[in-house]
A and B are shown apart, each in its own frame.
Chain A
Amino acid sequence: MGTPLSKLVENKPLWFKTDIEKLAKNDAKVKEALKKDGMRELFLNDPSKFLKELNIPLSVKSKSLMRKNIRALQELQKAHYFELEDGQIVKANIRVNIK
């Protein structure tokens, strides 16, 4: 997987780069927190609150956009349905694993 942070922030605005670099510094802290009960769910459903609990403050702009976009990421984690040629439906169960 190994997606580098530098790639993630490429051609992005300064406030975004600043926030992501702040996150990168807390990599160990976040990974440790994700191992705790309930924290993974909190991360997936409300990353803004998760980061607040870990005292990792992000810019207001990031928090605002996060609230706006998180629903789309949550949708991704729901089952997806595919209709086969005989009209029957298979349910693809999606598991999002945060590493």
Chain B
Amino acid sequence: MAGTQTAGYDMVIQFSEDFYENIIGSNFDINNIVPQILERLHLDESLFSITVSLDRPTDISLEGSGENPIDISVDIGNNGSIGNLRIVVGAVMIRLDSEKDVLTIDFENSLYYAKATAVLIGEQDIKSIVKSLINPIPVMPIPVDRDSVDPKVANRADFKIIDDTSIENKNVLSTMLTFGGGSQGNHTQLDSFVDDSGAIGLFFGWLCRLIIPKLEESLDMPSNSFTNTGTECKFSGSIVIDDDEDIYLKKLSLKLVDGYIQFDARVSTDGFCYEATGDVRAKIKFVIEDGRLKVIAEVGDPDVDLDIPWYCYIGAAVIGALTGGALLGIIGAVVGVVLIPLITWIVAEIVEGTFDDIADSIRDSVNNNLPEVDMQAYGIEILFQDVFIDDVIMKTKAIIHEAFPIRAEGVLRLRLGQGIDLDRGIVSSVENALNDINWMGHGANKYLKTGCEAAIADTNRKRMNKIMHFQLNGYDYKTKQKISQSEFGRADREHWYSPFYNFIENKKVLAVRTNGGRYSMIQIVEVEENHGIPVENEFLAKSGDWVMLRYKTFEGAIPSVRIFGNFSCTKVLKDLDELSVEFISKNDLSIRNPVLLTNTNALSNVNAVKLKPSYRGDWLVKLENNSTAKANLRAVSSGIKGSPKYLWIVGNHALQDNTNGIVNIDGEDIEYEVKFDKLILSVKNRAKIEVLVNVNVIDDHGCSVSQARCITHDGKCIVAKRYIPNWKEYKLLNKQTASTVRDRFILRKTRT
């Protein structure tokens, strides 16, 4: 049934187990958690793999409330040959202050279970180790205003782990948001609606709460002109919608139907001897194009009712009135001047503009690019992939950008007889003992061979950028390996006897543990052969035999540190007295009539009235941010043991841990706040500044690593926001000449 999927919550964000596995794995990885735990458990092993399940454990008893458990399993050794560490931890919503709800995996207060096999250490001691080593992981910070009555501002975030017991086992962790004017949904009725990695559900009643004020304001209606039933927003009064033609809007509704939103509008006009009423219905659908949600309307045929008193009809028949184009003009005005442009305006501006706003706020929250929110050890990028309507559900793909330092990466060509040192990204002859892999052999017997002490494993995956560093810990690496060319693809011959063929690469990704002690990935993306044709010159013969190799080597046990983060403008916008709105024209159709698509040819002979096209494009208002630019910097280290100390230096000022204050660089005051591995810098929005930031990380043994970065702000905090024109502005635009619109159409508005 339409409108039930979000169980009454305004917005529901669901991500699958894989998403949380990547977040937890990435967090463990960057903080070197598992090796530290293994060390404390006296297990001397570097091979491990992490899996995360959202199934509620039934084989163990959980301590404490046991609510919303996340089951983390660490297999130690090759396929768990040495043992297993199991941690069950609760997800909680931490309401930090009046401005933020943070979905958090809380190892400190909600550790329900921690036990390891192959060790003699008891559960309580393991719990103590886990608690001491793993800080709470903030997964999704949601900015909230508890008193918000604004449907654009959330006042509460809740969450629920859904252990899906169906055969698909679509377990998800669901974050539910309630916005101003809404009420909490019923979490007991909430099910998983994720097919793959993630999905975002929007309650139609909330969309109505967002759309109604825009429509009321845009059409000069008094507030509360619309009703909102949760599945329909509807106006059924009477307002003038076109002064020039004296046309009234009598009905306007957007209704949730399975698979689309049904749009209905009725307008009417009357005059001497007639009353004309026009009705039109359109199906509003959503598509994702280039990651952006686009709204399209499939317009049905309009109906026009002409009510004429009988004696007028007779009279008209006698004297020729009502003909001569008068009523035809009225029909044209009802359909062409009001109904069709009204659909275009509602679809292209009101509905699509509302979704753009929503998409922006989702990206800001989920992609975690709010400068006000503490930065994490990874970035999340949300890509909208598909959309379907029950409530409005947008399928999403979540990409976790891990912060684990990369030492070297690229694509290079290895000729036969060459190898690569993956630690340094240097290609040289196979004679080089530092090579991690070599391309060797001849003819049909070419192969990739591991170099001295380098080890290799098949990941059984083909997309290198989906493999995270923590996942490389778990493979079964073997030294002294030869991998035949045939394992990288197959020869595609036109004729079996032909010496010429194309090599179709299978793009398998291999994991390599380098002889420098780092993890790397390689992928053969192209194989080129000389097809066995004898060439006198040995070099030329070999030069036709090469492989194009993509590789990525992470930093390893060798200590290193990198500074992540940059200046970005905070989101508080200056309340301007005047707005300058610019219309940027683009050729983009969002309206169509599929019913008549197949009839167009058949109808090509009819005498159709060509409607003046509406201009398509974006209305943009550029606003200057009047607050501060803030840089949330974090030092991410690897290979550091124990509890390191972080020494931050800004310019020439060494900053003490857990302090805040102001330093002056180049005449600009920079506010700072230091906390362990984090440094927050704030400057005025118009400050043009270059700051040399240096961090020294010193471990328990006194070893130190450092990195310096130049952090800059260009003094600009201009935000271009989409502006939603009201109906009069939309009509004003469409009265302009094409050249005016193409050159520059600017609307100046004074705020009231």
Contacts and interface: CB of A to CB of B under 8 A. Distances in A.
Interface residues on B, range: 35 or more
Interface residues of A, number: 49
Interface stretch (B83-91, B196-204, B604-612): B604-612
Contacts of B335: 80, 82, 90, 92
A94 B301 contact: no
Interface in A44-92: 44, 47, 51, 62, 65-66, 69-70, 72-73, 75-76, 80-92
B600 interface: yes
B399 interface: no
A76 B318 contact: no
Contact of A66 (B274, B311, B314): B314
Contacts of B133: none
Contact of B609 (A27, A73, A80): A80
A96 B308 contact: yes
B148 interface: no
A94 B591 contact: no
B270 interface: yes
Given A80-B331, A81-B603, A85-B589, A69 B320 contact: yes
Contact of B317 (A12, A47, A81, A84): A47
Given A84-B340, A95-B306, A90 B318 contact: no
Contacts of A85: 589, 591, 611, 613-614
Interface in B266-308: 270, 272-275, 278, 299-308
B309 interface: yes
Contacts, number: 162
Given A8-B315, A73-B313, A83-B608, A90 B301 contact: yes
Contacts of A12: 319
Interface stretch (B182-190, B322-330, B481-489): B322-330
Contacts of A75: 323
Interface string B423-461: 000000000000000000000000000000000000000
Interface string A9-51: 1001000100110011001001100100000000110010001
B299 A89 contact: no
- B-side interface mostly: mixed
A20 B609 CA distance: 35
Interface in B569-624: 589, 591-593, 596-597, 599-600, 603, 606-611, 613-614
Contact of A69 (B301, B302, B317, B592): B317
A47 B599 CA distance: 35
Given A83-B608, A91-B301, A34 B310 contact: yes
Nearest to A75: B323
A82 B317 contact: no
B299 A73 contact: no
Nearest to B306: A96
Contact of B306 (A34, A65, A91, A97): A97
A16 B591 contact: no
A70 B323 CA distance: 9
B312 interface: yes
A83 B609 contact: yes
Interface in B324-357: 324, 327-328, 331-332, 335-336, 340
Interface of A: 1, 3, 5, 7-9, 12, 16, 19-20, 23-24, 27, 30-31, 34, 43-44, 47, 51, 62, 65-66, 69-70, 72-73, 75-76, 80-99
26 contacts: A1-B307, A3-B272, A16-B319, A20-B314, A24-B311, A65-B317, A65-B319, A65-B320, A72-B323, A73-B313, A76-B322, A80-B609, A81-B607, A81-B608, A84-B591, A84-B593, A85-B591, A88-B593, A89-B593, A90-B300, A90-B301, A91-B603, A93-B304, A95-B303, A95-B304, A96-B308
